[in-house]
Amino acid sequence: MAKRKISKLVEEREWKNFKVPVRSIGIIADIKNIKAFEVLEQLKDQFNIKSKNFKTLLYAENHQSVKDYSGQLYSLRDIDMKASIKNEELEKFTSERVDLLITFAEENNTAVHLITAFCAAGIKVGRYRKNEALYDIILQADNDLELFTEELLKYIKYFKKSKNE
């Protein structure tokens, strides 16, 4: 059911122009990639993003509290059997548009891909070609966060340069 919902959301997505400079960022990760937040949060400073415009979401299977993470959590209990969101905070996260949405999760994490599909974003960035319909940019950097961030910054600079031309 969830994979069909993802396909439907991708088809219905309203394509809006990516805005530069980036003024808001959302990051979604799963528990296996929690260290991604440490590196990706540096983007907040690099783009001079205000805290209120920088949001993180972590998927944890059992909705357990996670040491050293104070952002928003979700689990499968926040999604119903029809692959709809049943948690008000999660609904708010997905409906508030961000300029840049980064998903750093395992390739086959359907729960993360579902929430990514629900999110309103100017541009969505992910890591795996298998999920290319879901993302505008795919950066194949495996688990190398430094390389992922470096490549992402190159794309943003390119968009900024092409906007100014």
Rounded to an integer, what distance in angstroms lies between the CA atom of residue 162 and that of residue 165?
5
Half-sphere exposure of 72 (CA within 13 A, CB side): 18
pLDDT tens track of the chain, all 165 residues? 677 876 777 676 665 666 778 899 999 999 999 989 989 989 999 889 999 999 999 999 876 778 888 889 999 999 999 999 999 999 999 999 999 999 999 888 999 999 999 999 999 999 987 878 899 899 988 888 999 999 999 888 887 777 665
* Cα maximum dimension of the chain: 49
pLDDT of residue 10: 67
Claim: this prediction has a pTM higher than 0.95 = no
Mapped onto helix, strand or coil, the DSSP state of residue 115 is helix
pLDDT of residue 13: 66
Give the neighbor-by-neighbor strand order of the sheet with 137-138: 72-74, 54-59, 25-30, 98-104, 121-126, 137-138
Helices marked H in the chain: 2-12, 36-40, 42-46, 88-95, 110-118, 145-164
Rounded to an integer, what distance in angstroms lies between the CA atom of residue 123 and that of residue 135?
8
pLDDT of residue 28: 97
Sign of the CA dihedral 22, 35, 145, 128? negative
Nearest-10 Cα torsion for 123, 124, 127, 131: -120
